[in-house]
Structure 1
Amino acid sequence: MIADRTIICLASGWDYHPTSKHHVMRKLAERNQVLWVNWHASRCPRLNLGDLHSIVSKIGQIGQGPRQAVESLTVLTPPQIPLPGSPLIRKLNAAIVRRAINKVLKRLPPRPVQLWSFAPDIGELVGGFDEELVLYYCVDAFGEFPGYDRALIERCERELMDQCDLVITTSPPLYETRRQWHPRVHLVKHGVDHARLSRAVHESLPIPASLKGLPHPILGFVGVIGEWVDLDMVAGLARRLPDASIVMIGPEKISRGPCRGLSNIHWLGNKAHEELPSYLRYFDVGLIPFRDVPLTYYANPIKLFEYLAAGVPVVSSPLPVIKPIPGMIWLADDMASAVDGCRQACNDNSPAARQQRSQLMLAESWTARLDQIAEQVNAAIKDRRTVKVDAAMPSSTVRMEMRSA
């Protein structure tokens, strides 16, 4: 258990679509004080409406100062200059962010500090808070995201790992690569908010207004609609299953492209995580239509666990972390298998089957995941203290111990 700590979390926007880092920090905030620092200096902005909107939003958040998002969780958005290729600017950003964090820390009750980073490029901040632990929580191959400088991100990531005490990875490919760079790397897969999402199985939730009147089967997707989403597969399903309704929930970061003009695809925009059980209850299939690109090769989609916890069968593109499971997960190697998988999933979707899927996700809770991480955190802190004691021991004492041994 991790308790009675102040945890500084470096991550992308708190107000962004909920991801694993949001769940982890909400859970840690139950027993600790969490300071979530919005880190937005990893790439240069692009000339598009999405980045312009993000810049305006960040300026507004900077003006707000520290704000309490939930109990024991404070969100801070320090000003940063998004020019990661400049060493001088990176040092300036680090100085600004360090000063802003320390200003907030002075207002909090004194507790041991831990630094957790979901960003790979915050090495300049390490050591600035007298932290008892530095943890790098690696959830993606960040250099593969559009707009990121792959070589720069990898160099920064290695510099961070050289300074941290512990590395947590969330997929086997991330684990296999990162364990070559650090002696203490562990694989901890994503968890799921089972108590919330299983309501889709156990409760008679009202149908959301945006789903009323849509013909079944409903094939649904929940998540960020970014460059990694295979809209060709989505469009192909819409054409080959014209009687089905395809529902896309999440912020749109790319053009609808091949899906334009297809009347049975419904774009519902972003929904609060609290609303998801009501939508998932009426999904007949949960879709994970990912393109075959390096970014998705390293991914471990949290939506897989969320669909299953809600009892929804899954049809997914083949990913290293996802294996077919009869009655639960069908893999779509091509359009024919995607269509066939959706049909089979719809035919294996009784209330009993949905209940069984949800039940199997009970062991995958975020509490269970944090227990795994806590064990490694405590071991890393113990090792760090041992190293400090050894370093502080007079050389004559060391020689005497060596002779007595």
Structure 2
Amino acid sequence: MNAINRRPQLVCFSHLRWDFVFQRPQHLLSRAALDHDVYFIEEPLFDDGACPQLQASRRPEGVTVLVPVLPPSDEDTAASLIAGLLKPILQPSSRQRILWYYTPMAMAFSRDLEADVVVYDNMDELSAFRGAPPRLLDLEAELFSRADMVFTGGMSLYAAKRRRHRNVHPFPSSIDVAHFDQARRRPAEPADQAVIGGPRAGFFGVIDERMDLDLVAETARLRPDWQFVMIGPVVKIDPASLPRAANIHWLGGKSYRELPAYLGGWDVGLMPFALNESTRFISPTKTPEFLAAGLPVLSTAIADVISPYGERGLVDIVSDATGLADGLDRLRARPRGSWLAAVDAHLAGMSWNRTWAGMQRLIQGTLQSRRQPTGLRGRSLPTLVGETAHV
């Protein structure tokens, strides 16, 4: 048996596409791929006339992406077909296997898979998102009953989920500082942004029901001298609903690699989130990414932004378009020296490497506890591996 076949196997079930937006799953699983064989199983694609098949492709990060392609099917039939497609790849093995869930919906076809450790990385409250499947909450309850540990994507989600499982740990959004720090050196402007005047305020990320479009429109009306650069794919909402004005620029999705060049040309970062059920528990990864880029940030009152970023004076919290408009002028004029020093001090304690290392310690602690004599197995995981603050 060659060395790579002795590596542990990590099988991830995700509601997100690997190539959609580079975010938490990609950061963590790229690191996992350094010493695990990582399979990233996406939700199925349905194609009229298709024979059930599993499309496999390798990504530069070392992850194998698996996409079930099915004929149109109801949920139960689709689950049965996917289970059959995965069986040859995920048959019982002597190798250590971790099952890693981002979506409880995968329980419908993976509940019988053998695993040494089952992890639920609960990065979002999916049940609150537009179009959430009716069965999601029931399948999440089943996942909670099977998972050895639950990680949450932020502190507010941790507070909501900590009593639903015996072993819940918060791992808020982290940051690749070196990547976004490139923006501080003002790289060459991308062509589609170079033609836009200034000053500029910008947003990047998925554009969906979580964005307050009325707030964007009214702020742009109040500050016609400012240019609003909006980057990201539009999903789950009608593109025709996006506000249109001479100073609002919808540039579409950009790759993770391209982002620093765009952010380097902005004066202020915007997080104009709607305050609704879909944003109640979000922990925006873009918060530390804006800060690492050296951009002052204006955000609506998202709990995981208020604490810690608002409370530490790193992000300004606003409540309406007037506050957002006034904040643009205030932050553009504010000296950045002491603020940047505070930002860098805060970010110094954060990295995706550190987050992944903390998760690995907990996983290894569970594996170790199962190798302990029977009398020790009833002890709680934090007692075995030590309490750790994950920030």
Q: State the TM-score, normalizing by the size of structure 1.
A: 0.82
1:240–1:339 contact (8 Å) kept in structure 2:
yes
Q: In structure 1, give the amino acid aligned to 2:82.
A: V
* Map of 2:68 onto structure 1: 78
CA distance in 1, matches of 2:344, 2:264: 12
* Equivalences for residues 310-389 of structure 1 within 5 A: 310-323=293-306, 324-325=310-311, 328-348=314-334, 350=336, 353-354=339-340, 357-358=343-344, 360-386=346-372
Alignment match, 1:230? 212
CA contact (8 A) 2:182 2:293 kept: yes
CA shift for structure 1 position 355? 6.6
Q: How does 1:21-40 map to 2 (within 5 A)?
A: 21-40=25-44
Distance 1:82 1:134 in 2: 30
- Paired residue for 1:164, among 144, 147, 161? 147
SS of equivalent to 1:116: strand
Structure 1 runs (4+) greater than 6 angstroms displaced:
none
Structure 1 residue 278: deviation in Å? Answer: 0.5
How many residue pairs are counted as aligned between the two chains? 367
Partners in 2 of 1:105 and 1:347 — Cα distance? 57
Q: Confirm whether residue 241 of structure 1 aligns to residue 226 of structure 2.
A: no
Q: Supply the distance in 2 between the matched residues of 1:196 and 1:381 (Cα, whole angstroms).
A: 34
Whether the 8 Å CA contact 2:27–2:352 is kept in 1: the answer is yes
**Of Structure 1 and Structure 2, which has the larger fraction of its residues in helix?**
1
Contact 1:245 1:265 in 2 (8 A): yes
Tell me how far apart the structure 1 counterparts of residues 120 and 71 of structure 2 sit (CA, whole Å): 22
Residue 302 of structure 1 deviates from its aligned partner by 0.8
Q: Using the alignment, how far apart are the partners of 1:139 and 1:82 within structure 2?
A: 29
Deviation for aligned residue 1:142 = 0.9
TM-superposed deviation, 1:351: 7.0
- What amino acid maps onto 1:207 in structure 2? E
SS of equivalent residue, structure 1 residue 158: helix
TM-score by length of structure 2 reads: 0.84
Distance 2:7 2:349 in 1: 26
Pair 353,67 (structure 1): closer, same or farther in 2 beyond 3 Å: same
The CA distance in 2 between the partners of 1:274 and 1:349, in whole Å, is 29
SS in 2 for 1:103: coil
- Separation in structure 1 between the aligned mates of residue 286 and residue 116 of structure 2, nearest angstrom: 33
Offset at residue 71 of structure 1 (A): 4.5
Q: Select the residue among 251, 257, 273 that pairs with 1:290.
A: 273
Instruction: Rate the CA distance shift 1:93–1:258 in 2: closer, same or farther, 3 A.
Output: closer
- Provide Cα deviations, 1:142-162, integer angstroms capped at 9, x if missing partner: 111111245x21111011110
Distance 1:382 1:242 in 2: 61
- Looking at structure 2, the residues matched to 127 and 113 of structure 1 have their Cα atoms a distance apart, in angstroms, of 14
Q: Which one is further off, 21-30 or 74-83?
A: 74-83
Q: Distance in 2 between matches of 1:79 and 1:9?
A: 17
Query: Do the aligned partners of 2:123 and 2:153 also contact (CA within 8 Å) in 1?
Result: yes
1:45 alignment counterpart: none
**Structure 2 residue 10 is the aligned partner of structure 1 residue 7:** yes
Q: 1:119 to 1:259 in 2, by over 3 A?
A: closer
What is the match of residue 205 of structure 1?
187
Is there any run of 5+ residues in structure 2 with no aligned partner, and where? 1-5, 378-391
